[in-house]
Structure 1
Amino acid sequence: MIGYLILFSSSFLAATILPFYSEVILYAMLTQGDHIVLLVAIASLGNTLGSVVNWYLGKFILRFKGKRWFYFKDQQIERMQYWFQRYGQWCLLFAWLPIGGDALTLVAGIMKVRLSIFLILVGIGKSVRYIAVAYFAYISQGMITHWL
């Protein structure tokens, strides 16, 4: 049970602005023979919910734009909004990317993307990523027959 909590927590933290790598923990648990569907579901849920934190931050972050400690410059925000508008909500399917994925979820909050749409698109993208990790974990362990 503690292993599942660790997987959920690491997946959650990996989706926030904190640097964390949940794939390593998922891989390790998969190679120990734990149930693949449950592990992928836990990792996907944790990672998607962690992205919701970024969405909420984005939703309220522009209130602090005039503060001296505010991290983003106006030009950076405008550029992020431009790219998000250009490619639309579908780019949230790529929120799993290690570089730029967290920024997409933050910008989605800034752009006021509906939470229901956000959850569906981000959830699909992150689930596919964890399915791929599980697939490669099983291939590397020679356990491909578990997939058939």
Structure 2
Amino acid sequence: MTDTASLLTLFVAAFGAATILPFQSEIVFVALQLRGDVSLTALLIVASIGNTLGSCVNYAMGMGIERFRHRRWFPASEAQLDRAQRWYAKYGVWSLLLSWAPFGDAITVVAGIMRTRFWLFLSLVAIAKTGRYVILAWLTARTGLGAD
């Protein structure tokens, strides 16, 4: 696989993993890191940008989704949505630093519903997403996997 194809694959996986789609970018990231034919800096940049942009999709969905909250097909009950909004109001925008976690997709959607300022959303999510990949790269290098 060429560097471009590798990075495109990583971008798609990272983008998808940040949305409600069932993607796992960590597996792709670690595999490419272990292969060693693409620079770690490029992997970190592409994964971070892809994952952050995927969260922006969630934010945009949150901005528009509340108008559908009374429809039968709406994926969350009134009580679930109210609870999520109360939780976000209580813990605030700093909860976006947990956007890397498995439940982080929900936080990014709620941030859109709560009309968090986009620049603040983007900054906190980018820090969280990039931090996760930096730690993952460090752990992968530390384990010595792939070393001859």
Please confirm whether the aligned pair reaches a TM-score higher than 0.5, indicating the same fold: yes
TM-score (norm 1): 0.93
In structure 2, the partner of 1:36 is 40
Q: Give the structure 2 partner of residue 62 of structure 1.
A: 66
- The answer for the alignment partner of 2:101 in structure 1 is 97
**Which residue identity is paired with 1:117?**
L
Structure-2 separation of matches of 1:135 and 1:102: 24
CA-based RMSD: 1.4
How many angstroms apart in 2 are the aligned matches of 1:114 and 1:135?
32
**C-alpha contact 2:35 2:146 (8 A) present in aligned 1:** no
Q: Of residues 116, 128, 131 in structure 2, which corresponds to 1:128?
A: 131
CA distance in 2, matches of 1:142, 1:110: 42
2:17 pairs with 1:22: no
In structure 1, the gaps of 5 or more residues are none
Are the counterparts in 2 of residues 54 and 102 from structure 1 also a CA contact under 8 Å? yes
Contact 1:62–1:110, Cα closer than 8 Å, also in 2? yes
Q: 2:85 aligns with which of 81, 85, 89?
A: 81
Matched with 1:49 is 53
Contact 1:7–1:22, Cα closer than 8 Å, also in 2: yes
- Residue of structure 2 aligned with 1:117, choices 112, 117, 120: 120
What stretches of structure 2 of length at least 5 have no aligned partner? none
CA distance in 1, matches of 2:57, 2:11: 15
Q: Distance in 1 between matches of 2:140 and 2:6?
A: 17
Deviation, structure 1 residue 65: 1.4
Q: Percent identical across equivalent pairs?
A: 44
Cα-to-partner distance string for 1:42-66 (whole Å, 9 max, x where unaligned): 0000000000000000000011112
TM-score (norm 2): 0.93
Aligned residues, how many? 143
Deviation at 1:141, TM superposition (A): 2.4
Maintained 8 Å contact 1:17/1:102: yes
Q: Offset of 1:143 from its aligned partner? A: 8.3
